[in-house]
Structure 1
Amino acid sequence: MMGYAVTEGVSAADAFVNAATILSGISGLFVVIATGFVLAPVLHRVLHSFRVEKGKDDDD
């Protein structure tokens, strides 16, 4: 917002609207977050498949 207010000389309200417009255009971030939520359990299962059991000679 400061960039709009200082460099463009617009009011604080207009600077807020311009900044909010740009931030709302970051829909790609939603896709990344949603993909993370979907793939996290799958990755968790895959990592559990690599679990190694402790043997008799292993200490804590």
Structure 2
Amino acid sequence: MSKRHLLRFESKHDALLPRPAFARRVARNFAVASALIGASLLGGMTGYHLTEDMGRIDAFANASMILSGMGPLEPLKTPGGKLFAGAYALYSGLVLVMASGVVLAPIVHRMFHRFHLEEDAGQ
């Protein structure tokens, strides 16, 4: 019986995953990263709405700019809004790194897995 890992990657002794299964893995990881970004955007919009009393469009614009690393569009007026924006900016930096890792993980894993298979075949 094969042990299932959280990320469901094959070990270096297993065969290389066929392309259709690899495409599904990449799509699944992209969906997970997209959900993480979407939830973070929704949280940012809610925070800007509650702390700065911004409308939906302004809250979306500010949250998406912070989440993408660009910075806020409008100057913040309240101390609560400034604290939220700082915390959200720190959180957004971590989300960007995590989402990038989730999307790139299957590609990097396949590259290393192929390298190990070629290395084992050469011995």
Structure 1 unaligned segments of length 5 or more: list them: 51-60
Amino acid at match of 2:47: G
Amino acid at match of 2:50: V
Task: Mark the structure with the bigger radius of gyration.
Answer: 1
Structure 1 vs Structure 2 CA RMSD: 3.2
- The equivalent of 2:50 in structure 1 is 6
Deviation at 1:42, TM superposition (A): 2.6
- The equivalent of 1:21 in structure 2 is 65
Deviation at 1:15, TM superposition (A): 0.3
Deviations 1:21-50 (A, max 9, x none): 0122266454x444752x223321255456
Q: Which has the higher contact order (CA 8 A, sep 6+)?
A: 2
The two structures have a TM-score, normalised by structure 2, of: 0.30
Deviation at 1:9, TM superposition (A): 1.0
Following superposition of structure 1 onto structure 2, how do residues 1-60 of structure 1 map, counting pairs within 5 Å? 1-25=45-69, 28=97, 29-30=99-100, 32=101, 33-34=103-104, 37=107, 39-48=108-117
Q: For 1:22 and 1:14, how far apart are their aligned partners in 2?
A: 12
Deviation at 1:13, TM superposition (A): 1.1
Runs of 4+, deviation exceeding 6 Å: none
Structure 2 unaligned segments of length 5 or more: list them: 1-44, 70-92
Count of residue pairs the alignment pairs up: 49
Look up the SS of the partner of 2:54 in the other structure.
Answer: coil
